[in-house]
């Protein structure tokens, strides 16, 4: 199962009815973003801005296709998809929470984000033992570039941030999927994570992990049970709970 970094708790105020989210794409000095080299090469220049935004923020069934290997699937590797992160939280909140957002990186002529270059190589983040270092650096660099602002009222102010790093996750130390903390402002995850639903190789991120980590930003604790880091102190809810293995 997916291993996670420890989650730190903090006081959480009431959740507003809408949240605006920035997606920040970052790559390492020695590891750049994914390029599709396998036939039929649906993303030869990299995942598009629209791929990330549709998976996280789309509505009206834009990120929905349950047919295996459907050529018309919105998923870059034609995997099955069952709705966006926004769809999930809108449904689970009975329409009380609306999540909007966008990739803040500029795009090239192919619609691919111009990934922000981190100041260090892959190994620095993998072994430095600071779980949220990627997220911290990404937010700082995005602010320095003028993509986001920390001042409420600015047009580039966002309530929360999602940091996407280039490549996949070895789930070791600093290269771990994790949130800044319960009630925090950002979480971090790779562009490619886990096998496809149909059992293929590592594929474009699915929204389940993103929804789980976003739950931490909303104030939700892990529900794994059994003292798995900071959690509910309950028995594991296994696959029936977003904040467990569901």
List the beta strands (DSSP E) in the chain. Answer: 18-27, 64-65, 81-82, 98-103, 116-117, 160-165, 178-179, 186-190, 192-195, 202-204
In this prediction, residue 1 has a pLDDT band, given cuts at 50, 70 and 90, of very low
In this prediction, residue 2 has a pLDDT band, given cuts at 50, 70 and 90, of very low
Least confident span in 116-130, 157-171, 212-226: 212-226
Going by their DSSP bridges, the two strands 186-190 and 178-179 should be labelled as antiparallel
Q: Model's pTM, two decimal places?
A: 0.89
Q: Which residues contact 104 (CB under 8 A, 6 or more apart)?
A: 22, 23, 24, 142, 147, 148, 156, 158
User: Three-state DSSP class for 82?
Assistant: strand
Task: Say which DSSP state 245 is in.
Answer: T
Residues 184 and 139: their CA atoms lie apart, in Å, by 13
Least confident span in 116-125, 173-182, 213-222: 173-182
Residues 78 and 151: their CA atoms lie apart, in Å, by 39
């Amino acid at each position: 199962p997916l291993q996670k970094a420890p989650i730190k708790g903090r006081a959480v105020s009431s959740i507003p009815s809408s949240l605006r989210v920035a997606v920040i794409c970052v790559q390492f000095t020695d590891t750049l973003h994914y390029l599709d080299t396998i036939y039929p090469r649906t993303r030869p220049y990299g995942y598009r801005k629209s791929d990330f935004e549709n998976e996280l923020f789309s509505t009206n069934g834009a990120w929905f296709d349950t047919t295996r290997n459907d050529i018309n699937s919105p998923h870059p590797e034609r995997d099955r998809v069952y709705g966006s992160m926004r769809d999930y939280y809108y449904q689970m909140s009975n329409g009380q929470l609306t999540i909007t957002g966008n990739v803040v990186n500029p795009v090239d002529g192919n619609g691919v984000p111009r990934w922000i270059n981190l100041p260090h190589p892959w190994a620095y983040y993998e072994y430095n033992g600071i779980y949220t270092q990627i997220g911290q650096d990404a937010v700082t660099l995005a602010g320095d570039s003028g993509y986001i602002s920390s001042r409420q009222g600015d047009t580039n102010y966002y309530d929360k941030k999602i940091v996407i790093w280039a490549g996949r996750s070895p789930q070791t130390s600093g290269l771990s999927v994790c949130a800044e903390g319960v009630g925090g402002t950002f979480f971090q995850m790779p562009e490619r994570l886990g096998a496809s639903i149909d059992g293929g190789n590592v594929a474009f991120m699915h929204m389940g992990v993103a929804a789980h980590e976003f739950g931490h930003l909303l104030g939700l604790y892990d529900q794994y049970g059994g003292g798995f880091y900071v959690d509910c102190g309950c028995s594991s809810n296994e696959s029936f709970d977003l904040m467990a293995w569901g």
